Chains A and B, each alone.
Chain A
Amino acid sequence: MNEAGLGDGDVVQRVLAGEVELFRVLVERYRHEFGRYAVSLVGDEDSAQDAIQEAFIRAFDSLGSCRDPQRFKAWFFRILTNQCHNARSRRRREVALDGVDAPARDRTDADVEQDELRRAIDAALDDLTPEQREAFVMKHVDGRSYEEIAELLHTGIDALKMRVYRARDALRRRLEDRT
């Protein structure tokens, strides 16, 4: 059976009919698609994995209430985003995203600057509202178009752009504080 060819709507219907194992198709698909979004939104990999798990379990439990099985992606995305926001506020700040640096003598000035910038941005994400964070991560970590983001967030493109712009302004302040 070519599971890759199965649309979300078909999978949902069949899972609801009892083919529980088929849920894996959705798990693989959206763990892959939203995995980095979740890690960035939460701020550390372990907590993000917990959030992703929890989101899939909730989606499974409530699968019957997914209004339109064809729209599973956006519905699940909202569940996942909620879990990620909760997880972010729960995680401890000291857990770094990628804490291991190469030994000092192997690192160039450019490397050091990169690391600092990266940490600054990670920290700056805390300054954002949850909506700004969502939009920023989708734009700059996932590289999605505004149209795509608008579809997932159920929001207008203009409002969306405002959030991303405000997020960039917040980052500018952060970065300028460091110079």
Chain B
Amino acid sequence: MSSRNEWSHETQAYFDGERAAAEPPPRERPGADRLLRGVTAYAASIHAPGAELDDRIMARVRERGRARAHPSMWRWLVAPQSVRVRPVVLALAASLVFLVWWRDRTAELPSAPQLAATPTVLVRFELLAPRASSVTLAGSFNEWGTEGMPLTPSATPGLWAVTVPLPVGEHEYLFLVDGAKWMADPSAQAQVDDGFGRTNSVIVVGPRGVVRS
């Protein structure tokens, strides 16, 4: 920044309103006053929003207050957001596809974390398993049942695919290939100890979908 473009110290103090302390140098005075006039005019043109904005805000706040108090009344579904699975995921040895069917558990003490207004989000997954004859998915969402969630072959040879609604939140899962071999998902967000000598794959689904690398 050249000094030609910087206000002098005195002028800055002048702008700060410390006029008793400083006077701008003569060459800067006209420009300084011009700036001040412009700033004053600009400030005068700024109008604050009126009280009707308060009403709109409170209407939304009330909605949210209700949702917090009664989460089960406000369950809604978001529109499906299929997530682009990037090419690099397909290039990995095995990415993962699964089908989730959500069962709400309202036992005497609901244990599924009540994410109020829990939406579901559609997530598309793909699995490259050319030699498999069947692939199913099991996880925390379907009580690890090994029959209910089959993957189906897609148009690409060897590629199994499905798009599923997943409730927002965290899920642990594995694949069962050919009814016999449990497989984790190498491209999952994380792997955790399952307590039985294996690892489970983990995915956390947010309301806006899942971002894959």
Binding site for B on A (CB under 8 A): 18, 20-21, 23-24, 27-28, 31-32, 35-36, 38-40, 45, 48-49, 52-53, 56-57, 60-61, 97-98, 113-115, 117-118, 120-122, 140-141, 143, 146, 161, 165, 168-169, 171-173, 175-176
Contact = CB atoms under 8 A, between A and B. Distances in A.
B1 A169 contact: yes
Given A120-B38, A165-B7, A175-B35, A60 B64 contact: yes
A172 B31 CA distance: 8
Report, nearest first, the 5 A-B pairs whose CB atoms are least far apart: A117-B38, A35-B48, A20-B65, A121-B42, A114-B41
Contact of B48 (A23, A32, A56, A168): A32
Contacts of A27: 54, 57-58, 61
Nearest to A55: B57
A98 B46 CA distance: 8
A97 B48 CA distance: 12
Contacts of A49: 49, 53
A48 B39 CA distance: 20
Interface string B31-53: 10011011101110111110101
Tell which of A21, A28, A165, A172 has the most Cβ of chain B within 10 Å. A172
B104 interface: no
A115 B46 CA distance: 13
18 contacts: A20-B62, A31-B49, A35-B48, A35-B49, A49-B53, A52-B53, A56-B61, A60-B64, A98-B47, A114-B38, A140-B43, A143-B43, A169-B7, A171-B39, A172-B5, A172-B6, A172-B31, A172-B35
Interface string B61-73: 1101100010000
B67 to A, nearest CB: 10
Interface of B: 1, 5-7, 12, 15-16, 31, 34-35, 37-39, 41-43, 45-49, 51, 53-54, 56-58, 60-62, 64-65, 69
A36 B38 contact: no
B8 to A, nearest CB: 11
Contacts of A52: 49, 53, 57
A36 B48 contact: yes
A47 B62 CA distance: 22
A45 B49 contact: yes
Tell which of B12, B34, B56, B57 has the most Cβ of chain A within 10 Å. B57
A110 to B, nearest CB: 9
A36 B34 CA distance: 23
B162 to A, nearest CB: 34
Contact of B39 (A45, A57, A140, A176): A140
A52 B31 CA distance: 35
Nearest to B36: A140
A69 B76 CA distance: 32
Contacts of B1: 169
A118 B42 contact: yes
A168 B56 CA distance: 36
B5 to A, nearest CB: 5
A134 B6 CA distance: 20
A73 B12 CA distance: 29
Given A31-B57, A53-B56, A118-B38, 12 more contacts: A31-B54, A39-B48, A52-B49, A57-B64, A114-B38, A117-B37, A117-B42, A118-B41, A118-B42, A121-B39, A140-B39, A146-B16
